[in-house]
Amino acid sequence: MRFNRLYAIVLRQAYLMRGSFARVLPLFVWVAIDMVLWGFITKYLNTVAASSLNFVPVFLGAVLLWDFFIRVMQGVTMSFFEDVWSRNFLNIFATPLSISEYVGGLVLSSIATSSIGLVVMLGLTMVVFDLSFFSYGLLLIPFLLVLFLFGISLGIVAAGMVLRLGPASEWFVWPIPAIISPFAGVFYPIATLPHWMQYFSHLLPPAYVFEAMRSILAGQPVAVSLLLWSIGLAFLHILIAYAFFARMYRHAVRTGLIARYSAESLS
Amino acid sequence: MTFKENIRSEEKSGSSALGVSKLCKQYRNVMAVNDVSFEVRSNEIVGLLGPNGAGKTTTISMILGVLEPTSGSIRIEGLDMVAHRSRALERTNFAAVYAPLPGNLTVYQNLRVFGLLYDVKDLAARIERLLRQFDLVAFRNTKCGALSSGEQTRVGLAKAMLNRPSLLLLDEPTASLDPSSARDIRAKIKAFVAEDSCGVLWTSHNMFEVGEVCDRVLFLSHGKILLEGDPKRLPQEYGKETLEELFIAVAREPLTLEG
């Protein structure tokens, strides 16, 4: 793996960001709106609910972590879409760039773009809504790690899907987080779900993060073994996602889709 | 050119830049490329000619590694494309009218990004030299999408020469240029070939151009090579006045020329 090639993918994204207000704004505007909206909703719930539960860390903290996952996923897909929109596949895949270097470049781009969103969210929630992430302690690190890894894996799967199905399939990508969210137990314990849904939840690394987050806030011990399992599961998801993308790429090279991507399908 | 580059250039001259052997590409029942074998030597410009749909672009796509052959092999400077894809493509580059560089990046940004992808040494100096060579200095900070088609062609050619390729694939490189610009571009490509001992596979529908630049031509029809030879002598060998007449004969009546 050559550093220059990874850097080229990141630099391309940086050039695009630098020259385009429309690309920079979405990095933090939507997450900021989400934080403000959920911040006030949770404050209101605190005033009307009979229970002593503090809704701010339960809901606002969950929304922040979930938005971070979405930003990571979109960081990968947006960088990939730039090649789709500029019809750049032929130029880029005719270079010595390997698939691992290309995917590595997408991941590095995502780290840069999602960090901006995370900083804005943390700043807003801590300053405006007094949400202290210190209450999570050092466990915040594995929480973010699991969500980051899962966001990367879903971003890679989404890119592979668009590579296989063509530019028009882009709209499949946007609802993916919304489809996963009920299974991940972002706002409620997994036990709330019917049994068949819980089976899917156990396969989703974020589900363990949100369970652990609620345990901390309820003053209960966190099952560290489950958190470690979720990290392992998230790495497994990355491997599967990479294998999926590599397979889609090989299919595109075999059928000629890379050379004539705008045709969408040659079958 | 430095002394070291001069030695390298002399060593390369006459060696094989590209070797294609028994190359086939089948799409379901259609044989797009059928048992094609040829070689491009360093310092040689080979014209790949044929009517639309003959298999020229399919052949070029396979050489570039963006299309998998059904069978056959491709060697770039002796490196097998399947086993050493990355190393083989480090020595290759291409320009094609159907593959413009991203229009949302400036000329300089595009050259920088592709220079990094090709791992070009001393990239900044190389970009400056190419900007001058292709009269692009005034456009260095202009987005490629805002350039005229002729200017975009020049940027594409500058990108194609970034890594001083041993094998250059040019798919109708002068198609969108006026005659004067086309002549300049041909001169620049010929100078580059002579300087860097590069082998070139050149497709064009302009037979005057082919006659002027190509050392050898291959006529492709229905995925097969029908004729091969010197573009200046080939028409007479087949009883035609010009290369254009021969081209039309190949396109219309390929069977009469087979065998």
Q: How open is the CA angle A44-A49-A52, to the nearest 5 degrees?
A: 110
Strand partners, B219: B49, B227
Residue A55 confidence class, pLDDT cut points 50, 70, 90: confident
Range ranked top by mean pLDDT from B49-53, B120-124, B233-237, B252-256: B120-124
**B117–A4 C-beta distance less than 8 A:** yes
What is each CA distance from A134 to A63, A144, A169, B1, in whole angstroms?
17, 14, 41, 62
Cβ atoms of A35 and A124 closer than 8 Å: yes
Structure tokens at B101: 């560089």
For residues A218 and B2, which has the higher predicted lDDT (pLDDT)?
A218
Which of B58, B91, B101, B104 is the mutation pick for testing A, counting most A CBs within 10 A?
A: B104
Cβ count within 10 A of residue A236: 14
pLDDT score recorded for residue B255: 57
Q: Which amino acid type is present at position A172?
A: F
CA dist., res. A80 & res. A60, Å (int): 30
pLDDT at A267: 43
B80 to chain A nearest CA, in Å?
14
Answer yes or no: is pLDDT of B258 > 70: no
Mean pLDDT in residue range B160-175 = 93
- Distance from the Cα of B219 to chain A's closest Cα (Å) equals 22
Give the whole-angstrom CA distance, residue A230 versus residue A228: 5
**pLDDT (tens digit per residue) in B85-100:** 999 999 999 999 888 9
Q: How far is A164 from chain B (nearest CA, A)?
A: 14
Instruction: Write the DSSP assignment of A83-132 as a string of letters.
Output: HHHTT-HHHHHTSS--HHHHHHHHHHHHHHHHHHHHHHHHHHHHHHH---
Least confident span in A17-31, A93-107, B8-22:
B8-22
User: Residue A263: which pLDDT band, with cuts at 50, 70 and 90?
Assistant: very low
DSSP class of residue B215? Answer: S
Interface test with A, best of B63, B117, B155 (most A CBs within 10 A): B117
Percent of the residues in chain B that have a pLDDT greater than 70, as a whole number: 92
Please report, for residues A149, A217, A266, B133, the alpha-carbon distance to residue B253 in angstroms, rounded to integers and kept in the order given: 60, 82, 29, 42
Burial of B248 (0-12, 13-18, 19+ CB in 10 A): middle
Average pLDDT of span B27-44? 93
**Residue B113 to residue A11, Cβ atoms within 8 A:** yes
Read off the pLDDT of each residue in A74-99 and give the average, rounded to a whole number: 94
Min mean pLDDT across A106-115, A130-139, B32-41 is at A130-139
Asked whether the predicted pLDDT for residue A264 surpasses 50, the reply is: no
Kindly tell me if the per-residue pLDDT of A47 is higher than 60. yes
Q: How far is CA B82 from CA A17, A26, B36, B67, in A?
A: 36, 41, 17, 11
Q: Looking at the complex, does the CB of residue A98 fall below 8 Å from at least one CB of chain B?
A: yes
